[in-house]
Homo-oligomer: A and B are copies of this chain.
Amino acid sequence: MDKRGYYGEFGGAFIPEILSATFDDLVAHFNGIKNDPLFWDSYVDLMSTYSCRATPLTYAENLTNHFGGAKIYIKREDLNHTGAHKANNVMGQGLLVKKMGKTRVIAETGAGQHGVATATMAAKFGFDCTIYMGEVDVKRQRPNVFWMEQMGATVIPVTDGTRILKDAINEAFRDWVTNMETTHYVLGTACGPHPFPEMVSYFQSIIGKEARKQILEREGKLPARVYACVGGGSNAMGIFSGFLPDAGVTCVGVEAAGRGLATGEHASRLCTDDASVGVAQGYKTFFLQDDDGQMKETHSIAAGLDYVGVSPILSQLHVEKKARFESATDEEVIAALKLTMQKEGIIPALESAHAFAGAFKEVGNLPPDQCIIINQSGRGDKDIFTVADAFDDPQWKAFIKEKAGDYRA
């Protein structure tokens, strides 16, 4: 084990001894593909024939008029196969797994998107597949569980800890330390031990590459700001990476303020002082933890943002002030989601709706000759149970009750 993947003081690879050789192998293979000019082409080819890359950049004319500020563009990761940016990372790692000669993949999932994406990739590449998912998330994202299972994956509800994303990650590591010869752990976000933060960002950078080219074609200039929601940080890293070198572009990460930052029931690690630097799940970053270093319970309406840690690369961008981090409450997110549906006919995932909410707070203050890009990391129809609950839709409830009645009969 050589390069440990540090970004300032963040990152590293705090892994159990037993995985040492596995990580050496992984780093070597990852370095191999990074240095292989043909690999990126094969990746882009896969993504443009199996998924629909380049994903479009949509001009949101009605939202723009509504806020009367900068022009709003939306990068449409929701149009990816399986409905989110997660596909980018997963397909990239799938190609890597083939190169490594492994036959089984495992993954954690929070929102279920990464699980569905991994199960999909496993079906396509012919790998065995096991998905770990916190029991709480299994409940709120049942449709995704159903599809994962139908695609041949085994979904294991994690009943330990807080039974959400972080616990699923622990459980995936427990599987991995037992089965690393055959198995690759497809980590779903730009977190975890090196090389995952770098590797996941590498695959997701396809978003930023495209978006930069597209906005230049459309507007002839760079955006003033780029907004992305921040769970683990992969979609943010993906789009930010296309604009970080550009001094004039502000990258804004939007975290989950849950029931409000003041309530403590949130999942904001960078935009509050509630988090502090720590080491868990194999890497060093800002974590929501107590003084002893025990991880706290987090809350977000969006399962995919409900996470204690954050990409070490984003932590470093935060510390260096190369990116700005804000937050949006559950309530603001629901309002942003409604507005976007009604104005543009677009349904962002609850995760993505954080980026929209963050942008909506600011865009009216920017002059109309500027433009911004919001990264729509995924589509919201997977969230119907959560959204219908959040909207408290009586007809949906009636429908579910009737359906349940049918099943009882």
Contacts and interface: CB of A to CB of B under 8 A. Distances in A.
Contacts of A21: none
A120 B345 contact: yes
Chain A contact surface mostly = helix
* Closest A-B pairs by Cβ, 6 of them: A404-B404, A120-B345, A123-B345, A52-B52, A124-B345, A397-B407
A139 B58 CA distance: 33
Contact of A401 (B122, B145, B391, B408): B408
Given A122-B345, A338-B150, A345-B122, A142 B55 contact: no
A57 interface: yes
Given A385-B403, A404-B401, A407-B400, A344 B123 contact: yes
Interface in A134-164: 139, 142-143, 145-147, 149-152
Given A151-B341, A404-B405, 4 more contacts: A49-B57, A62-B124, A123-B343, A123-B344
Interface in A48-70: 48-52, 55-59, 62
Nearest to A342: B152
A120 B51 CA distance: 22
A146 B341 contact: no
A318 interface: no
12 contacts: A49-B56, A49-B57, A50-B56, A52-B52, A52-B79, A62-B123, A62-B124, A62-B126, A82-B345, A83-B381, A146-B396, A403-B404
Contacts of A50: 56, 58
A121 interface: yes
B342 A151 contact: yes
B385 A382 contact: no
Interface string A327-348: 0000000000010011111110
A76 interface: yes
Nearest to A344: B124
A381 B378 CA distance: 14
A384 interface: yes
Contacts of A345: 82, 119-124, 151
Contacts of A346: 81, 120
B399 A142 contact: yes
A388 B342 CA distance: 30
Contacts of A55: 52
Given A49-B59, A52-B76, A56-B49, A384 B143 contact: yes
A378 to B, nearest CB: 12
A292 interface: no
B52 A48 contact: no
Given A81-B79, A401-B408, A341 B150 contact: yes
A123 to B, nearest CB: 4
Interface in A98-126: 119-124, 126
Contacts of A396: 142, 146
Nearest to A122: B345
A393 interface: yes
Which of A56, A80, A393: most chain B Cβ within 10 A? Answer: A56
Interface string A65-103: 000000000001001111100000000000000000000
